């Protein structure tokens, strides 16, 4: 017992004290989500209220000849002082975050975060879920405009990425449709009815105290310009027969915290979700390989076989 107390005291000292390590670098304890979330929200609102995007270029009536459909953000100042602010076009969603999601031991639960998004161009197709695969072009930057990542060509991207707010934000946009793909003759292509938007993400839905790269300081809200070309409906990333969206068992819009057998693979990447040695696909299929709905529950305990290590 004494030993356990000693161990936890050492743990507390190491994790929470400000100390100089061997390199002379001062370690700062992680800030609290509940402190950072309102600070980020104030920073983001200030940004949205003092900036605008080239919405007139996207309006058919005022679109310049040969417009390249690039989103440009600038400050509301000088000649542009009278433009419509980003805030006037912004919509938002609230997402609750626990500290353990960020690998922190602060024990904070359900800290509310606001994700802002602006639909710049309504896509002609449907909308993905946060669990789908999407064809996107994107630019990621800090609120001061410093670019940290981009893809100028369309790439396929699985939305359950590390930056949680990104997946939840892209899921608010509509994609284009395949019949509107036009080849440019140089290997690239455009999708004429793609959806376009701006996402502004608080750090608690992004990298928080981790710096995402040398270009992203800790506790940075980040911004993405996204063009959503296409998406795959009911993406099944581990090909186990259960669509990824259904592998969000606790229904919180996040896939990494659902892990029935507590192995190193979250359910959406685990082909044997309950770790009983029988694949999920086998546990939900008949002898001909057809998936049975509702999913079989042999012992009738309310837990389907594929999530129940007692049955298969
Ligand atoms: Ca989840
Ligand atoms: Ca699975
Ligand atoms: Ca299984
Ligand atoms: Ca089972």
Q: Which of 145, 157, 147, 154 is nearest to 184 (CA)?
A: 154
Same structural domain for residues 209 and 128?
Answer: yes
Q: Assess whether 301 and 153 both reside in one domain.
A: no
3-state secondary structure of 42: helix
266 CA from centroid of ligand 1 (Å)? 9
**Do 256 and 216 lie in a common domain?**
no
Query: How many angstroms is it from 307 CA to the middle of ligand 2?
Result: 9
CATH of the domain at 52: 3.10.50.40
Q: Which two tokens stand for residue 284?
A: 């939900």
Whole-number Å distance, alpha carbon 259 to ligand 1 midpoint, is 9
Select from 191, 217, 232 the last residue of a domain: 232
How close is the Cα of 256 to the center of ligand 1, in Å? 6
Lowest mean pLDDT among 25-34, 105-114, 255-264: 25-34
Where in the sequence is the domain holding 147, given as residue range(s)? 33-232
Distance 246 CA to ligand 2 centre (A): 9
pLDDT bracket for residue 28 (50, 70, 90):
low
Let me know if residue 161 belongs to a domain.
Answer: yes
One domain, residues 220 and 266: no
| Residue spans of beta strands (DSSP E) within 62-221 | 73-75, 91-97, 111-121, 133-142, 147-158, 181-183, 189-191, 195-201
Rounded distance from Cα 134 to ligand 2 centre (Å): 19
**pLDDT over 50 (residue 18):** no
**Torsion over CA: 177, 178, 183, 189 (sign):** positive
Residue 24 lies in a domain: no
Contact (CB, 8 A) for 64 and 57: yes
- Among 232, 259, 286, where does a domain finish? 232
Q: Work out how many domains the chain is built from and give that number.
A: 2
Q: Name residues with Cβ closer than 5 Å to ligand 1, which is an ion.
A: 248, 250, 252, 254, 257-258
What angle (nearest 5°) sits at the alpha carbon of residue 180, between those of residues 117 and 116?
A: 0
Question: Of 25-29, 35-39, 177-181, 250-254, where does mean pLDDT reach its minimum?
Answer: 25-29
Please report whether residue 112 resides in a domain.
yes
Whether residues 102 and 210 share a domain: the answer is yes
Distance 272 CA to ligand 2 centre (A): 6
The single residue listed with the structure tokens 């000693």 is 6
Tell me the backbone φ, ψ of residue 13, rounded to 5 degrees: -60, -45
| Residue 49 located in a structural domain | yes
**Contact (CB, 8 A) for 241 and 281:** yes
Tell me the CA distances in angstroms from 121 to 146, 176, 189, 193, 224, one per residue in order: 24, 10, 18, 9, 15
Q: Cα 139 from chain centroid?
A: 14
Please say if the pLDDT value at position 259 is more than 70.
yes
Task: Kindly state whether residues 195 and 79 are assigned to the same domain.
Answer: yes
198 pLDDT above the threshold of 60 = yes
Structure tokens at 31: 């800030």
Q: Is residue 17 part of a domain?
A: no
The alpha carbon of 271 is separated from its chain's Cα centroid by a whole number of angstroms, namely: 23
DSSP single-letter state for residue 14: H
In a domain, 12, yes or no: no
Could you say which ligand is closest to the alpha carbon of residue 244? 2
Distance of CA 71 to the CA centre of its chain: 21
Ligand nearest to the CA of 258: 1
Residue 2 pLDDT: 40
User: 223 and 172 share a domain?
Assistant: yes
* Confidence (pTM): 0.86
In terms of domains, do 185 and 264 share one? no
**Residue where a domain terminates, one of 198, 232, 266:** 232
Closest ligand relative to 280 C-alpha: 3
Answer yes or no: do 216 and 259 share one domain: no
Q: What burial letters (b/e) apply to 238-247, b meaning 16+ CB within 10 Å?
A: bebbbbbbeb
pLDDT-above-90 percentage for the chain: 86
Sign of the torsion angle spanned by Cα atoms 126, 199, 32, 259: positive
Question: What is the Å distance from ligand 2's center to 241 Cα?
Answer: 8
| Residue showing tokens 């546990």 | 283
Stretch among 9-13, 86-90, 255-259, 280-284 having the lowest mean pLDDT: 9-13
Q: Is the CB of residue 217 less than 8 Å from the CB of residue 228? A: no
Contact 51, 84 (CB under 8 A): no
Closest CA relative to residue 245, chosen from 169, 121, 160, 157: 160
Distance 167 CA to ligand 2 centre (A): 19
Give residue 238 CA to ligand 2 midpoint distance, Å: 6
Q: Is residue 169 part of a domain?
A: yes
Helix and strand numbers (H, E) in the chain are: 6, 12
CA–centroid distance, 21 to ligand 3, in Å, is: 45
Residue 196 lies in a domain: yes
47 and 139 fall within a common domain: yes
Distance 98 CA to ligand 4 centre (A): 29
Residues 220 and 249 reside in one and the same domain: no
What's the gap in Å between 298 CA and the centre of ligand 1?
Answer: 25
212 and 277 co-located in one domain:
no
């Amino acid at each position: 017992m004494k030993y356990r107390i000693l161990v936890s005291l050492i743990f507390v000292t190491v994790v929470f004290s400000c100390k100089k390590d061997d390199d002379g670098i001062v370690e700062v304890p992680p800030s609290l989500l509940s402190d950072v979330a309102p600070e980020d929200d104030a920073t983001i609102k200030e940004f949205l209220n003092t900036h605008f995007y080239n919405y007139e270029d996207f309006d058919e009536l005022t679109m310049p000849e040969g417009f390249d459909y690039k989103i440009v953000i600038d400050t509301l100042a000088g000649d542009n002082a009278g433009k419509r602010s980003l805030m006037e076009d912004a919509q938002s969603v609230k997402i609750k975050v626990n500290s353990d999601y960020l690998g922190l031991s602060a024990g904070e639960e359900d800290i509310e975060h606001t994700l802002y998004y602006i639909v710049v161009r309504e896509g002609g197709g449907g909308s993905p879920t946060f669990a789908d695969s999407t064809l996107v072009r994107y630019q990621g930057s800090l609120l001061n405009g410093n670019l940290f990542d981009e893809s100028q060509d369309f790439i396929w991207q699985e939305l359950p990425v590390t930056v949680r707010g990104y997946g939840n934000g892209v899921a608010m946009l509509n994609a284009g449709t395949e019949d509107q793909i036009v080849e440019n003759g140089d290997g690239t292509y455009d999708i004429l009815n793609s959806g376009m938007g701006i996402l502004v993400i608080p750090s608690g839905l992004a990298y928080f105290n981790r710096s995402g790269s040398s270009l992203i300081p800790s506790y940075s809200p980040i911004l993405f310009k996204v063009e959503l070309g296409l998406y795959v409906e009911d993406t099944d990333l581990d090909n186990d027969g259960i669509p990824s969206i259904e592998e969000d068992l606790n229904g919180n819009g996040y896939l990494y915290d659902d892990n029935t057998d507590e192995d190193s693979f979250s359910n959406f990447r685990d082909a044997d979700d309950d770790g009983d040695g029988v694949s999920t696909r086998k546990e939900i299929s008949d002898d001909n390989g057809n998936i049975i709905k509702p999913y079989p529950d042999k012992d009738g305990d309310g837990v389907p076989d594929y999530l129940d290590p007692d049955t298969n």
